[in-house]
Amino acid sequence: MQTAAQPAVQDARADLYRRMDRDNLTPLWEVLHNLVPPQPATPCVPALWKYDAIRPYVMEAGKVITAREAVRRVLILENPGMRGQSCLTRSLYCGLQLILPGEIAPSHRHTQSALRFIVEGSGAYTAVDGERTTMHPGDFIITPPWTWHDHGNPGGEPVVWMDGLDIQIVQLFDAGFMETYPEEVQPVARPEGDSYNRFGHNLAPLEPVAPFARTSPIFSYPYERSRETLETLSKSEDPDACHGWKMRFVNPLTGGFAMPTIGSFVQLLPRGFASQPYRSTDATVYSVVEGAGTVRIGAQSFAFGPRDIFVVPSWQAASFEAHGECVLFSYSDRPAQLALGLWRERRG
C-alpha cells in the first residue's frame, strides 16, 4: 500500500515528471496498476444487435452507394465501449456486408485474414485465388491472408454476410499490406468446389501442400455439413453443461484452427437448455443461425433470435437459455492467444 506523500515530496515528484516529460519519459509507478491489472480490464462491453433493427440500414446503404463505389459496402458493428475504433472486440473487427443482384466488389488482397458468415440470401459468390464459392446462409467462408478476393452476385436476391477480420491484431504488429488487383474481377482458374473436393473429405494430395500458409485450404465450410454433424452428435451424447454441442472449424492439414489468428465455432443448444456460466479470455462474437433464446453476460441479459449478432467480452461469464433449439456460430482470437500462451477459461 502506498501512503500519501508529504507535500514537499509531491512537489518534487511533479517537478521531476514535468522535466522528464519533455524528453518523452514517464514514471511507471503512476501507471503500473493499469498496465498489469489483476484480471482483464477491457473497454469492450457486452452488446447485441437485433438483425431486424439494423437490416433497414444495410438495405438503405444499398440505395446510397454501389458495391463498386464503396469497394466493400459494409456497416461496421462497433463495440459501444470502443466507438470510433472499428472493432467489436479489442482484437477483432465485425461488419455486415451487402451485395445486391448484379453487383461486384472489386478484387484486392491484404495481409489481414477475413471470415464470412452468410446471414441472408443465396447466389452471391466470393472468389479466392482463382476459385469461386457460392454462398448460402450459415456457410462459413475464409479469405486467407494475401489472397486475391472479390465478390459478385449473379443471383436474384440481396446477399448479406458477417465479415470477421483480424484487423486490430495486424494493426498491433504493424504488419498490414494491401494491393488492388489490376482488373475488377480476377479470372476463374479452378472449378467451383475444387478445394472442398481436395481437402474436405479426409483426403489430401500426396505432396505436401501449403497453399495458404497457416490457413485451411478449405475456404468454404457448407452449413449443411456443420448442421448435420451437430445433429448427429446430439443423438449420441449429452450436451456439455456450458456449451451444448460445440465444435470448432479445423484446418484438415494440421488439425488446428481453420485460421491462424481467428478461431471459429458452431454449437447446438437443445430446446429448453440452460447452460452453466462460462468465461474465457477470448472475447467472442456470435451470429445466431437458428432459434431464439437469452444470453446472460455478466449482469446483463439479451434476448436473441435468428441473424442477431452479439459479443461476449473477455473474462465475462456468459450463460445461455435456449427457448427453441438454437444454432450459434462464433469467432474469437483464441488461436492467437493459444499460440502466445495467454488463453484461459473457467467453467461455472
Binding stretches for ligand 1HN (CB under 6 A): 72, 74, 95, 97, 114, 149, 163, 165, 167
In whole angstroms, how far apart are CA 281 and each of 32, 65, 219, 343?
21, 38, 27, 6
Distance (Å, rounded) from C-alpha 190 to C-alpha 217? 14
Which residue, 290, 328, 138, is CA-closest to 223? 138
Taking the C-alpha atoms of residue 265 and residue 250, their distance in angstroms, rounded to an integer, is 9
> Is residue 96 within 8 Å of 119, Cβ to Cβ?
yes
User: Shortest distance, CB of residue 116 to ligand 1HN, whole angstroms?
Assistant: 7
Burial tier of 145 (Cβ tally within 10 Å: 0-12, 13-18, 19+): buried
Residue (104 or 230) nearer to ligand 1HN, CB: 104
Closest approach, Cβ 149 to ligand 1HN, in A, equals: 5
Q: Which is nearer to ligand 1HN, 97 or 251 (CB)?
A: 97
Distance CA 315, CA 305 (A): 24
Q: Shortest Cβ distance from residue 203 to ligand 1HN (Å)?
A: 29
Cβ 286 to ligand 1HN, closest distance in Å? 19
Instruction: Identify the bridge partners of residue 140 per DSSP, sorted by sequence position.
Output: 117, 221
Exposure string for 158-193, b = 16+ CB within 10 A, e = fewer? bbbbbbbbbbbbbbeeeeeeeeeeeeeebeeeeeee
- 74 versus 160: smaller Cβ distance to ligand 1HN: 74
Mark residue 100 as left, alpha or beta (left: phi above 0; alpha: psi -120 to 50; beta: remaining).
beta
Closest CB 267 distance from ligand 1HN, rounded Å:
25
In the bound state with ligand 1HN, the residue whose beta carbon lies nearer, of 87 and 242, is 87
Cα pseudo-dihedral 82, 86, 88, 92, rounded to 10: -120
Shortest Å distance, C-beta 337 to ligand 1HN: 22
Q: Which residue from 293, 298, 236, 300 is spatially nearest to 269, judged by alpha carbons?
A: 293
* Residue where the block lists cell 448442421: 227
Smaller CB separation from ligand 1HN, 30 or 179: 179
> Is 279 strand, coil or helix?
strand
233 with 241: CB under 8 angstroms?
A: no
CB of 143 to ligand 1HN, least distance (A): 6
CB 107 within 8 A of CB 183: yes
Cβ closest to ligand 1HN, residue 212 vs residue 245: 212
Q: Which is nearer to ligand 1HN, 87 or 322 (CB)?
A: 87
Shortest CB 74 distance to ligand 1HN, Å: 5
Output 40 or 123, the one with its CB closest to ligand 1HN.
Answer: 123
165 versus 309: smaller Cβ distance to ligand 1HN: 165
Q: How far apart are CA 78 and CA 89, in angstroms?
A: 9
Give the nearest distance from C-beta 73 to ligand 1HN in angstroms: 9
